[in-house]
Amino acid sequence: MARHGGGRGWYGKVVGAALGVTVLAVGASVWTAQAGVEGGGTPHASASATPGGDVQPVAKTIVHASDAGARGVNITIDDGPDPAWTPQVLDVLREYEVKATFCMTGIQAQTHPDLVKDVVAAGHRLCDHSVSHDTGMDKKPEAYQKKEILDAERMITKASGGVRPMYYRAPGGAFTPYSRELAASRGMRPLGWNVDTKDFERPGTDAIVATVERELPNGPTLLFHDAGGDRSQTVEALRRVLPSLKAEGYAFGFPVR
C-alpha cells in the first residue's frame, strides 16, 4: 500500500490553525444509525449501537475486504468534504446507486458540516482521515498521533450531527501499531486500499480509468479523492468506472468491520 496524496500539500495552509483549535467532545449518549459514543470517555465493549451505548472496539488489522463478497468493490473517497467537488461526487454515486466510504479530515469536516450531513443522509459511511492530513505523522510522538485521530473523530462526529466515523485511514497510509490500536479502540477499523487510482495527480480521466481496470485484481478497495484541487477528472472517471464495474458483475459494498 503505497503512500499517496503528495504529502501535506494544500493542508499546510490550515494545519497551524487547526492545531490551535480546542475541539469539544461530543455530548454523552449520542444515538446514531452507525454507532453510539460517549463524549470524552474511554471505550468499552458493547453488543451494538444502541441508545446510550458505548463505543464497540473493532479489529486493529488494516482492512481491505468488502462486505459485498468475492465480487465486491469498495469505493473510498479521501480528503474532503469540498464544496466544489463533494456534491458532484455525490451526484454520480446517486446516479449509479453506489454507496461509498468518505475519509474526511477534521479540518474539512469542521469547515463544511452541511456536506458531512449530506454524505450521511445519502447512506454513505464516514472515515476519520486525521485532523490535518500529515503524511509524516507515523514519525511523530504518540501524543501527536492521538490528538490528530481523536480530534478528527470528534470534529467529524460533531459536523455530522452525531454520526461517528466507522473507519480510520492514516494520511498517506502512515499507520503505526499505536494509531491502529487507538482507532480500533474507538470503533474505527483501520482502512487501507488496494487500488490507488492516482487521481490526486490529475493524470487524465483515461489514465485513472485504466489504473482501475489494471489494478482491480489486486483487491477490492479503490482510492479516489474529492478535495485537494481540481477533481473534475475524478468525477468523470467515476462516471465511467461505476457503470462499467456493474456491467462486469461487480457489487458495491463497504469495507468489512
Of 54, 78, 79, 199, which one is the catalytic site residue? 78
Instruction: Please give the backbone phi and psi of residue 250, each rounded to the nearest 5 degrees, phi first.
Output: -85, 150
What is this structure's pTM? 0.82
With a cut of 70, which residues of the chain have pLDDT below it? 1-53
Q: Domain range spanning residue 122?
A: 75-253
pLDDT tens for each residue of 21-74:
333 333 322 223 333 322 233 232 222 232 224 799 999 999 999 999 999 999
Q: Tell me if residue 151 is catalytic.
A: no
What CATH number is given to the structural domain containing 188?
Answer: 3.20.20.370
List the helix and strand counts (H, then E) for the chain: 8, 8
Enclosing H/E stretch for 153: helix 142-160
Round the average pLDDT of the chain to a whole number and report it. Answer: 85
172 occurs within a structural domain:
yes
**Nearest residue to 163 (alpha-carbon basis) of 49, 21, 83:** 49
The answer to whether 126 and 120 have CB atoms below 8 angstroms apart is: yes
Q: Tell me if residue 225 is catalytic.
A: yes
Of 134, 138, 225, 226, which one is the catalytic site residue? 225
Q: What is the pLDDT of residue 2?
A: 53
C-alpha cell at 252: 458495491
7 occurs within a structural domain:
no
201 occurs within a structural domain:
yes
Q: What is the pLDDT of residue 180?
A: 98
- Strands 101-104 and 125-128, bridge-based pairing: parallel
233 occurs within a structural domain:
yes
Count the domains in the chain.
1
202 occurs within a structural domain:
yes
161 occurs within a structural domain:
yes
